[in-house]
Structure 1
Amino acid sequence: MVRIVAAAVLIWVLGFALWVVLLPERGDDGIRTDGIVVMTGGPGRVDRGVDLLRAGRAKRLLVSGVARTVRPHELALTVDAPPSLFQCCVDLGREAVDTRSNADETAKWVKRRGYRSIRLVTSAWHMPRARLELSARLDDDVLIVSDAVPGERPPAAMSREYTKYVLRLLAVWLGIV
C-alpha cells in the first residue's frame, strides 16, 4: 500500500512539474478569430481582451463572469476604452460564477453567434482547465486559440489549480461533464 501511495505522489509531483513548464504564454500569433472570450477572475484579462478587439483580432468580445452590478460604461472606464466600443462590440456575460459555468456561458454565446473560432483569454495558470472545460462543451470543429495573461501565483495556489485540472480531466474522460 505504501508503494502505491508513493507512486501516486511521484506521478502527481512529476505531472505538476510538467504542467508548470508547459503553461501557455501570450498568444502574439496574429491569428484572427470570430470572437474573443475573456474569463474574469484575474488582473489584466479584460485589458488584454479589449486590446485584442481594438487590434482587430476579432469582431466581438465576450467578458464571461461579470458581476450583475457592473455596467458596460463602468467596465469601459476601468480598461480605458471608449464606451462606444462596449456598445458595439462587447457582450457582458453575467451567468458564470466559476470555470465550468464560464465554459457553459461561452459555448452558448459561440453557438448563438455561429462562430467557428475564438480566442480564449485567461491567466496562464488557469488556461489548461479553462480550455478543457470549453473544449468539452464546444463542437470539435470550433478552433480555440489560447492567449494567456502572465501572472504570479503562490505555489500552494498553483498546486490547487493543477489538482482541479487533473480531477476535471479525469471527469471529462469518464464522461462526467
Structure 2
Amino acid sequence: MARRNRTATPFSTRLKRWFSILVALLLVWLGGAFVYIERVETLPQPSEERTDAIVVLTGGTARLATALRLLNDNKAERLLISGVSPSASKASLLQAVLPAMPDAAQASGNWEGIDLQLLFECCVDLDFEAANTEGNAVEAAEWAESHGVRTIRLVTSNYHMPRSLAEFGRRLPGVTIVPHAVRSDTLRVEDWWRRQTATVFLLGEYTKYLAALLRARLESLVAGGPMPASVASGTAS
C-alpha cells in the first residue's frame, strides 16, 4: 500500500505543475487579448502621406468605400481590391459600394462628386485568388512587384489590422506598409465584453494574430535574420 502511495505522489505533483502552467498560460493569453483589443479600439489616426498604391482587403463596404475615397483624393496611383469573390466583377462591386458612398455616382457630366466608374476603369485591379489574410499578402506582393510598388497604404478593419500587418510584413519585406484602419460596419469593438458574439470573434482574431506572429518569427529564425520591419508610423501591430 505504501508503495502505491509513493508512485501516486509524483504523478499528482506533476499534474498540479502542468495545471499551474496551463493556468499561467491562459492568464497571459487573456492579458494579451485585453491589450490587443484596447489597442484596436484606440488605433492612431491614419497617416496623410501619399503612397505608390492602396491595397484594400474585402470584408465590408466601409473598407472599400474608404479605399475608393483615398484613391479619388490622389493618395495613390492604383488600388488593388484583394480577396474578391470569383463571381464578382468591377460592375457588381461598384453597385455594392454605392449605398455606402452618397457622395459618389457613376458617369455624370455635370455631377460634382466621386466618379466611381472612372476610378474603376482607370485605376482599380481585382484579386480573385486570395481566400484569407495570408493569401491577401501573397497576391499583394506579386501585384506590387509587377507594378514596381515600394509603398502601400493598407486598408482593412481596425480589428483586422494587426494580423494584416503581420502577414504583409512577412510577405512584402521590401515594401513600406502604411496602415489605414477602418471601423467595421459589421462589428462594434467598443464594449465588446458585453456581447458574446463580439467577444468570441475578437478573441479568435487575437489568436490568429498570435499565430501570424509565430509564423513570422519561425520564418525569421529559419532564415537566420531579424523579423520584417516594413511598417510605417502609425502601426497597429
1: distance between equivalents of 2:29 and 2:39? 15
Q: 1:171 Cα deviation (Å)?
A: 1.8
1: distance between equivalents of 2:54 and 2:87? 22
Give the alignment partner of residue 21 of structure 1, picking from 38, 63, 72: 38
Q: 1:26 Cα deviation (Å)?
A: 6.8
Cα distance per residue 1:131-152 (max 9 Å; x no partner): 1111101133x11010111122
Q: 1:115 Cα deviation (Å)?
A: 0.8
Give the alignment partner of residue 119 of structure 1, picking from 129, 133, 153: 153
Residue of structure 2 equivalent to 1:157: 201
Gaps of 5+ in 2: 1-17, 99-114, 190-197, 223-237
2: distance between equivalents of 1:32 and 1:58? 6
Cα distance per residue 1:7-55 (max 9 Å; x no partner): 1011101111111111263744211000000010234111110011011
Residue of structure 1 equivalent to 2:125: 91
Give the alignment partner of residue 180 of structure 2, picking from 147, 161, 171: 147
Moved over 6 A (4+): none
Q: Does 1:172 align with 2:172?
A: no
User: Normalising by the residue count of structure 2, what TM-score does the alignment of the two structures yield?
Assistant: 0.70
Cα distance per residue 1:66-110 (max 9 Å; x no partner): 112212122123223531210100001111111111111111111
User: Normalising by the residue count of structure 1, what TM-score does the alignment of the two structures yield?
Assistant: 0.93
One-letter code of the match for 1:85?
Answer: L
Q: Rg bigger for which structure? A: 2
Q: 1:146 to 1:49 in 2, by over 3 A?
A: same
Give the alignment partner of residue 69 of structure 2, picking from 19, 43, 51: 51
Cα distance per residue 1:148-175 (max 9 Å; x no partner): 1112250110000001111221122111
Of stretches 30-39 and 79-88 in structure 1, the one that deviates more from structure 2 is 79-88
Secondary structure of 2:121's counterpart equals helix
Q: 1:2 Cα deviation (Å)?
A: 1.7
Of stretches 66-75 and 4-13 in structure 1, the one that deviates more from structure 2 is 66-75
Q: Does 1:66 align with 2:84?
A: yes
Secondary structure of 1:45's counterpart equals helix
Q: Quote the sequence identity (%).
A: 40
One-letter code of the match for 1:149?
Answer: V
CA contact (8 A) 2:47 2:180 kept: no
Gaps of 5+ in 1: none
1: distance between equivalents of 2:45 and 2:93? 23
Q: 1:43 to 1:75 in 2, by over 3 A?
A: closer
